[in-house]
Amino acid sequence: MNLSPKLIDESSLREWFDAQGLGQGKEISFERVKAGESNEVFIVKRSNDFWVLRRPSLVPLSFDGSNRIMEREFRFQSALEGTKVPHAKAISLCTDISVTGSFFYVMEWVDGLVPSDPIPEELGGMDSYHDIAIQLLKALGELASIDYQSAGLSDLGRPEGFLERQVGRWKGQLDSYQNREIPGIDEVAEWLEDNRPKKTIPGVMHGDYNFHNMLFSKEKNPRLLAVLDWENATIGDPLMDLGYLMGTLNFENKNMPDRSQAVSLWADRAGIKPESLGWYVVMSKFKLACMLEGVYVRQVEDTTRKTTPFLGEMVVSLIDQAIQFIPEASDW
């Protein structure tokens, strides 16, 4: 039985929106704004009201798994209510697959802009880099400070042994689809295993915290309006998010806060003293390389997909960056 014949069933969704008390009138439109590897995003318009609908792609890697991810995303976003983490308010989750072929959820629509690198002039250009970076660090610290047990998120992760599982998990995933040699990948994996931090403090992780998952106000002095894309969120080690962000920020930019200031901005809000941060930077590059190689292999092997050659180059570059960074990791 084909449970996902199409992405949007307007008639069924209109009835569902009626039942949720979301807008009025027969006219309802769905504008597809993002077609990702695993999820689809639509702006929903009804009369003068707007929302965002998020659902799995038409051909997910796992139908049951993609539905569980929708439910997890909704729960993580719902848990942000009452916190200082900027976010789009989660409104309603639908687990009835008869409506449009899969689980989906609706959140508020936030009018903003996702920054690119370099920062566009619409957001103040590179002069805004400092303020944007500070806002990212502060929001990430607030996320790490959330009491996940009180927020009812304890069942959405396995913090015990989290770091011990990371290298094996991502290397095992890579081995399942790797079809080419990636220079240095085994060297980085071995270093990570040999230098893994001995203790961690469990907390909420976003899992993909970077510029491309942020929504800022459209002005010269932009404000962070919402952290987006919670599909990789889990209960793990919050320093994984910090290591990922620190590894992507350009500290050579004259408009950036220095590294110690950046760490303090996060730590003051998280209530956690970062240790072995260099290990987390290397781990973030290793993890991202393994993830992107999977995307690249699917593109190459699936003739219906458009291949993005730079993805393959980026994987090699990330591992090279990790190798180059290892000698200074202990200084972080």
* HSE-up (13 A, CA, CB side) for residue 37: 16
Q: Length of the chain, please?
A: 332
Which residue bears the tokens 């990212």? 136
- In a 3-state reduction of DSSP, which class is residue 105? strand
Instruction: Look up the CATH architecture of domain 121-329.
Output: Alpha-Beta Complex (3.90)
Contact 127, 184 (CB under 8 A): no
298-331 pLDDT per residue, tens: 777 766 567 778 888 999 999 999 999 999 999 8
What pLDDT shows up at residue 300?
78
Q: Select the more confidently predicted residue: 57 or 164.
A: 164
Do residues 141 and 238 lie in contact, with contact meaning Cβ atoms separated by under 8 Å? no
Q: Beta strands of 29-185 (E only): which ranges?
A: 29-35, 39-46, 49-56, 90-94, 104-108
Residue 209: the pLDDT is 96
Residue range(s) occupied by CATH 3.90.1200.10 in the chain: 121-329
Q: Which amino acid belongs to residue 316?
A: V
Kind plus residue range of the DSSP H or E element containing 216: strand 214-216
Q: What are the structure tokens assigned to 80, written together?
A: 């942000």
Cβ burial 16-40 (10 Å sphere, 16+ → b, else e): bbeeeebbeeeebebeeeeeeeebb
- Token digits for 231? 């599909």
Question: Regarding predicted confidence, which is higher, 58 or 140?
Answer: 140
Number of alpha carbons in the 13 Å side-chain half-sphere of residue 302: 15
Q: What is the mean pLDDT of residues 279-288?
A: 97
Structure confidence at residue 5 (pLDDT): 44
What is the separation of C-alpha 191 from the centre of its chain, rounded to a whole number of angstroms? Answer: 26
Cα separation, 105 vs 86, in Å, equals 19
Least Cα distance to 203 among 88, 79, 288 occurs for 79
* Long-range own/partner contacts, residues 173-178 (CB < 8 A, 24 or more apart): 173/290, 173/294, 174/290, 174/293, 174/294, 177/293, 177/294, 177/297, 177/298, 178/293, 178/297
Structure token pair of residue 174:
């890579």
**Cα–Cα distance measured from residue 317 to residue 143, given in angstroms and rounded to the nearest whole number:** 30
Range among 45-59, 145-159, 168-182 with highest mean pLDDT value: 145-159
- How large is the C-alpha radius of gyration of the chain? 20
Helix, strand, coil shares, percent, the chain, to 5: 45, 15, 40
Whether the per-residue pLDDT at 4 is higher than 70: the answer is no
Class of domain 10-108: alpha beta
Q: Which of 108-122, 244-258, 277-291 has the lowest mean pLDDT?
A: 244-258
Q: Is 111 helix (H, G, I), strand (E, B) or coil?
A: coil
pTM: 0.91
What is the per-residue pLDDT for 61? 55
Q: Quick one: angle between helices 277-301 and 185-194, nearest 10?
A: 150
* Rounded Cα–Cα distance for residues 322 and 110 (Å): 36
Domain with CATH 3.30.200.20 in the chain: 10-108
